[in-house]
Chain A
Amino acid sequence: MTTTKKRPSSFYKMVFSGPHDLVHGFLSGIMLGSGNHGILWYCLEEEITGPSTARKLLDKVRVHGDDCHLIVDGSTRTLLKRNAKKMFAETGLQIEADNKISSARFSYTFHAFAKQYGDEILSTLKTMPRGVKKINTVTEENIHPEAKGVEAYAPAHHYEISGCGDLTGRIDLIIDARNELDQYPLVKTTWIELELA
């Protein structure tokens, strides 16, 4: 998810019922046809919780379910709500849920064995955009000068840094923050959780 234009301030989670391909096709069509350039993100693609674990796993092997979880902005929501009746009549697709998102959050952990990587990760965490709040942050750095060098039977790292924490804030900023952290192979992130209004 990358966009340079001004971001909306309100986001909604909508759940559509209907065959996966039909939902995707219909939503792409309606967005294009209406000239709406608003936001439409699929929860499974952005790794946002909502679908069950079983659904996530099935989706990985392209077995799609009959419900589709979306994140939309206000303009897209209005467009979809306005066309809900017509959409149901013509395609059978239905809006099952529609909630305002008050905040989003995810957890991260990292473990690095070289100062360079630790510094890069910490620097990225420090420069998170305004609106992304760090909570429960724990960082532990250990240096063992005696363990410097290559070992075979007694492997120990001379430098070790690990940390964990949660990032919380507006959903679009949180998606960006998570994508940025995911650039580092040594950082593990959880799926994004939503707090609904």
Chain B
Amino acid sequence: MKLSIKHSKLLFFLLFVATISLLSISALAHDHAPQEQHHEEIHASNHTELGQRLPLWSAIPFAGILLSIAIFPLVAPHFWHKQFPKISAFWAIAFAVPFLFAFKFEAIQSIVHIYLIDYIPFIILLWSLYTVSGGIFIGGSLRGSPKVNFILLLIGTLLASWIGTTGAAMVMIRPLLRANSWRRNKVHIIIFFIFLVANVGGSLTPLGDPPLFLGFLHGVPFFWVTKALLPHMILVVVLLLGIFVAVDNYWFKKEENVPVDNTGSSIKIEGLHNLLMLLGVMAGVLFSGSVKLPEFHVIGHVTMAWQNIARDLFLILMGLLSLKFTTKAIREKNEFSWFPIQEVAYLFAGIFMTIIPALAILQVGSDGALAGLIEFVSTPLRYFWVTGGLSSFLDNAPTYLVFFNTALGSINESEVPGMLAGGNIDFIIKLTAISAGAVFMGAMTYIGNAPNFMVKSIAEEAGIPMPSFFGYMLKYSLPILVPVFVIVTLVFFL
């Protein structure tokens, strides 16, 4: 029997996964063996104890998937474009199979917990925001002067916290590109768009950036982040917009053949009814954060609250209403497709599976294998820079969750709202530093936050010579963002 190339690849992939899984099973089973005499205790054990028993290397698939997301798009974009669902599945299976084999019911509980409590609501929120914001189109002819660019960046920055950084980037990038199509020197405009709209702007609500929504799912009140990060966000936005205006004025003066300014004569916003759906999304999220309905038992220690199910159903309804009442033409003008949300769904399915050991180990604090990291990130300054530094190169949502758990230690998540409301200064300032680091420093590289690459790709197809991965860092993020973040540190985290 002859195998086709496609089947051979699949077989090879399965064999590879099986080999990795078997190796991991033997190792995990070996580590687990001395404890088998306490079988019943293990069954009764909670997540904290799981973290004490899991070895550090069980987080290798987590590191693997994050590094895959970071490296493959740069070194093999077309391979990654075709194979990322399989690569995500590979890392997920590489962890899940040995984990289930070694920890059985405990593993099932952990997996069900992370998918029901984190993954599904996370995907539903991103899907609804993406669907709704993809139905808003800003058209018309603007002339890309420093004033117009400043206003577009400011609108995008303010919008990002309410429709998400991906949604704001999708809605605002094309008007910005059209306005500046006549300009020769425009790379800096797209760079500041990435800084402000695709990252910093999303810092004010859990709708703004995925890490903050994960915080919300883990007990951080909806408007806590607005209050906590507003001063930091204002400082960063004022500094960045100030630098932008100076740089854009410099390049604008060098432009030849400046077109006549007819800004305002034909600006057109279509699909405004989607703002109602957007309000619905916000209302749904707020509802789940403020209403306490009964919980029901799912499996083991996993329970679900009815208000969260109501929220998710309502968010789906908002997305469906947006699809129903928005014309195809508007979505086509936004070049709307489901691919970005499919990417998030596939990759985060892998991320949430593989993050289980990292979170469990961090939850046991100094009793776990990551005691060294926990001792190191003991101050707000370190939380800001370590969370931010890792968010620059790894996806900021899982990075946030890891450091959120580090700051939380063995404290139960149900105590989070109380600690934030009751003035637990130590936890408040740490969580502020983690949130600011994860959101702001996603702008440090193209791979720090999902919309960065999307904006780069759209700009390149519009004929803008975007800098390379290292060019972006050396010419823009290191000389501009790092000094701004140093100022943020000096003002807020020392």
Residue ranges of A at the interface with B (Cβ–Cβ < 8 Å): 111-114, 116-117, 144, 146-147, 149-157, 159, 183, 185-186
Which of A113, A116, A154 contacts B460 (CB under 8 A)? A113
Complex contacts, A111 vs chain B, CB 8 Å: 465
Quick one: CB contact mask for B461-473 with A, threshold 8 Å, 1 for yes?
1111100000000
Is B170 part of the binding interface, using a Cβ–Cβ cutoff of 8 Å?
A: yes
What residues on B are CB-neighbors of A157 within 8 Å? 77, 457, 460-461
Question: Which of B186, B453, B462 meets A114, CB within 8 Å?
Answer: B462
Instruction: Determine whether the beta carbon of A152 is less than 8 Å from that of B81.
Output: no
In the complex, 7 of the A-B residue pairs with CB atoms within 8 angstroms, ordered by the A residue number, are A113-B461, A150-B454, A151-B81, A151-B339, A152-B343, A154-B84, A159-B461
Q: Is B73 an interface residue (CB 8 A)?
A: yes
Q: In the assembly, what is the distance between CA of A185 and CA of B466, in Å? A: 10
- Is B301's CB within 8 Å of the partner chain A? no
A-B contact count (CB 8 A): 83
Which B-chain residue is minimally distant from A182 (CB atoms)? B184
Is the beta-carbon distance between A153 and B343 smaller than 8 angstroms? yes
The answer to whether B80 has its CB under 8 Å from any CB of chain A is: yes
Count of residues in B whose CB is under 8 Å from the partner chain: 33
A residues near B453, Cβ cutoff 8 Å: 151-153, 155
Alpha-carbon separation in the docked complex, A114 to B458 (Å): 10
Cα-based distance from A172 to B39 in the complex (angstroms) = 87
Q: How far is the CA of A21 from the CA of B344 in the complex (A)?
A: 60
Whether, in the assembled complex, B433 has its beta carbon less than 8 Å from a beta carbon of chain A, the answer is no
Chain A positions within 8 Å of B170 at CB level: 150
Do the beta carbons of A154 and B81 come within 8 Å of each other?
yes
**Residue of A whose beta carbon sits closest to that of B348:** A153
- Whether A152 pairs with B344 at a CB distance below 8 angstroms is yes
In contact, B335 and A154 (Cβ under 8 angstroms): no
Tell whether A152 pairs with B166 under 8 Å between CB atoms, given A113-B460, A147-B81: yes
Q: Please judge, given known A-B contacts A144-B78, A155-B457, whether A150 and B464 are in contact too, CB under 8 Å.
A: no
Q: Given contacts A144-B78, A147-B78, is CB(A153)–CB(B347) below 8 Å?
A: yes
Known A150-B454, A186-B465: A156·B81 in contact at CB below 8 Å: yes
B456 on the A face (CB < 8 A): yes
- A183 CA to B182 CA, complexed, in Å: 12
Interface 1/0 per residue, B51-69 and A, CB below 8 Å = 0000000000000000001
Chain A CB within 8 A of B38 CB: no
The residue that A146 contacts in the complex, of B82, B186, B460, B461, with Cβ under 8 A, is B82
A152 and B464 contacting across the interface, CB-CB below 8 Å: no
Chain B residues near A146: list those with CB within 8 A.
81-82
Known contacts A117-B463, A144-B78, A185-B463: does B450 contact A150 (CB below 8 Å)?
no
